[in-house]
């Protein structure tokens, strides 16, 4: 039985009000004053339709949601929104409760099966999740009169324990953003589909405790086609034990950006965490690590126009295992500076002959490449003059034979090349 069918009819609710011990004086008095019928507490929800929401896409339903949120908080319940189009003109602030639609029986991707919030305000977030705030089984859609040059996030997160799940976000400026000021530890984002963000899909920073991002797709190829120099799929700042899995960025400038400082955020510092089974396609750069970040990348497919993995930070520690890295007009792996870069058991392909780049370009830093298969129709591995150390061992290299390894490091540089098979 679905959630909507469990709600009693208005007549049944009226008949049962006198028996509702769980309805507080505040909630009952306000309901009576507003001509509202409350559902029994046993359902676990208050229904926005009972507080005046029309869901017709034209009526301003903001006040109805605000009244439902206040009643739900007072009663310790959740807010339920049946299917409909709910126009809002102010930020909906959610703290210690959740707003939910009907739990979908299908993935909320290319079908419209969820209740939809239509924010019309362009200066504040659509929804602000504070501590313990949740958003589930809803769509948030932005309809712009003209192509925007700036805008608010669809969802702003500003407290510990926030949850976003089974949510679809369409045509936003930014999708889900940490406020950059608050500790948002144990943030949980899962099963989210973000379509055509103009700026950033998901930004997470300030998580002092084990955040989780799982099965989140940031897809950007419409409704306004844009070149790849704009947009970040996942923008990651200060995070402790970040757990990302099965995420995907498509047609963004950068798929996954790890950086110590984020413009507009007072929280600074690097990410410590992991990307497991994540992927990119048709991005300019797959994974871009800047500054003091420690990240383990396991599995996944990163097909990009330029670099699949780019590292530039004296204290950057990056380990990539069992992934497929593919690039066109740039190296699969490019290291400018690092404390440690280890690439092991990966497939690295830079096959397009019209672009003359090595499959791996090491400008500086410490890099270890072991047990990989590297293929390029031009140059294999280029070792620059500023490298601190390089170990290239047990790899298979397919490249132009006289350019399989181009070593420009000084004669006394700690560079070790052994056990590599040149094909």
Q: For residue range 28-58, what is the model confidence (pLDDT) as tens digits?
A: 445 545 556 554 434 789 999 999 999 999 9
Which ranges of 296-344 does DSSP label H, i.e. alpha helix? none
382 within a domain of the structure (yes/no): yes
Of residues 191, 206, 192, 266, the one with CA closest to residue 236? 206
Residue with tokens 């929804």: 127
Residue with tokens 């995420």: 247
155 within a domain of the structure (yes/no): yes
Paired tokens of 121 = 């305000």
396 within a domain of the structure (yes/no): yes
Residue with tokens 């690039």: 327
Q: Picking from 34-38, 70-74, 140-144, 302-306, which range would have the lowest pLDDT averaged per residue?
A: 34-38
Per-residue confidence (pLDDT) for residue 11, from 0 to 100? 34
Per-residue confidence (pLDDT) for residue 15, from 0 to 100? 35
Q: What percent of the chain has pLDDT over 70?
A: 88
Per-residue confidence (pLDDT) for residue 353, from 0 to 100? 86
Of residues 130, 123, 133, the one with CA closest to residue 153? 123
The CATH number of the domain holding residue 279 is 2.160.20.10
- Which H/E stretch holds residue 28? helix 25-33
- For 184-199, b/e burial (b = at least 16 CB within 10 A) is bbebbbbbbbbbbbbb
Per-residue confidence (pLDDT) for residue 47, from 0 to 100? 97
Q: Picking from 102-111, 172-181, 313-322, 323-332, which range would have the lowest pLDDT averaged per residue?
A: 102-111
Domain encompassing residue 259: 41-422
52 within a domain of the structure (yes/no): yes
Domains held by the chain: number: 1
268 within a domain of the structure (yes/no): yes
Beta carbons within 10 angstroms of residue 173's beta carbon: 19
> Mean pLDDT throughout 214-233?
86
Of residues 190, 65, 49, the one with CA closest to residue 128? 65
CA distance 197 to 174: 6
Per-residue confidence band for 16, with pLDDT thresholds at 50, 70 and 90 = very low
1 within a domain of the structure (yes/no): no
Per-residue confidence (pLDDT) for residue 423, from 0 to 100? 86
Beta carbons within 10 angstroms of residue 19's beta carbon: 9
Residue 3 gets the label, from left (phi > 0), alpha (psi -120 to 50) or beta, of alpha
Per-residue confidence (pLDDT) for residue 402, from 0 to 100? 84
Per-residue confidence (pLDDT) for residue 278, from 0 to 100? 98
156 within a domain of the structure (yes/no): yes
141 within a domain of the structure (yes/no): yes
C-alpha distances in angstroms, 118 versus 50, 99, 170, 413? 19, 15, 10, 60
> Mean pLDDT throughout 368-384?
96
What angle do helix axes 25-33 and 62-75 make, rounded to 10 degrees?
Answer: 160
11 burial via Cβ count (<10 Å: 0-12, 13-18, 19+):
exposed
- HSE-up of residue 255 (Cα within 13 Å, Cβ side): 29
DSSP state of 33: H
Q: In terms of pLDDT, which residue wins out, 331 or 38?
A: 331
Per-residue confidence band for 104, with pLDDT thresholds at 50, 70 and 90 = low
> Mean pLDDT throughout 85-90?
98
CA distance 70 to 87: 19
Per-residue confidence band for 105, with pLDDT thresholds at 50, 70 and 90 = low
């Amino acid at each position: 039985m679905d959630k909507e069918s469990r709600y009693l009819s208005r007549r049944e609710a009226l008949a049962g009000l006198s028996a509702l011990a769980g309805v507080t004086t505040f909630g009952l008095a306000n309901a009576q004053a507003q001509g509202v019928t409350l559902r029994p507490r046993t359902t676990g929800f208050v229904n926005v339709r009972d507080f005046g929401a029309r869901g017709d896409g034209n009526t301003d339903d903001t006040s109805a949601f605000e009244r439902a949120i206040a009643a739900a908080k007072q009663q310790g319940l959740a807010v339920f929104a049946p299917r409909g189009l709910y126009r809002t003109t102010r930020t909906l602030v959610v703290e210690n409760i959740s707003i939910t639609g009907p739990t979908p029986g299908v993935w909320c991707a290319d079908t419209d099966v969820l209740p939809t919030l239509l924010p019309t305000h362009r200066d504040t977030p659509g929804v602000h999740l504070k501590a313990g705030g949740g958003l589930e089984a809803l769509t948030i859609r932005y309809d712009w009169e003209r192509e925007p040059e700036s805008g608010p996030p669809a969802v702003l997160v500003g407290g510990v324990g926030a949850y976003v799940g089974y949510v679809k976000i369409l045509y936003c400026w930014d999708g889900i953003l940490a406020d950059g000021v608050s500790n948002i530890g144990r943030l949980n984002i899962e099963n989210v589909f973000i379509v055509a963000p103009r700026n950033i899909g998901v930004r997470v920073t300030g998580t002092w405790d084990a955040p989780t991002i799982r099965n989140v797709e940031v897809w950007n190829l419409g409704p306004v086609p844009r070149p790849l120099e704009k947009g970040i799929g996942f923008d990651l700042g200060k995070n402790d034990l970040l757990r990302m899995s099965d995420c995907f960025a498509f047609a963004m400038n950068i798929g996954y950006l790890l950086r110590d400082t984020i413009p507009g955020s007072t929280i600074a510092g690097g990410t410590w965490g992991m990307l497991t089974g994540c992927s990119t396609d048709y991005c300019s750069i797959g994974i871009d690590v800047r500054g003091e970040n420690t990240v383990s990348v396991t599995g996944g497919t990163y097909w990009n126009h330029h670099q699949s993995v780019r590292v530039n930070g004296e204290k950057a520690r990056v380990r990539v295992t069992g992934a497929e890295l593919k690039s066109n007009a740039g190296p699969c792996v490019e290291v400018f500076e690092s404390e440690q870069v280890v690439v092991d058991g990966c497939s690295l392909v830079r096959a397009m002959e019209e672009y003359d780049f090595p499959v791996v370009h090491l400008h500086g830093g410490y890099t270890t490449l072991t047990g990989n298969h590297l293929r390029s129709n031009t140059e294999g591995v280029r070792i620059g003059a500023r490298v601190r150390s390089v170990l290239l061992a047990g790899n298979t290299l397919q490249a132009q034979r006289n350019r399989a390894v181009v070593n420009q490091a000084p004669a006394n540089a700690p560079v070790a090349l052994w056990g590599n098979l040149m094909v």
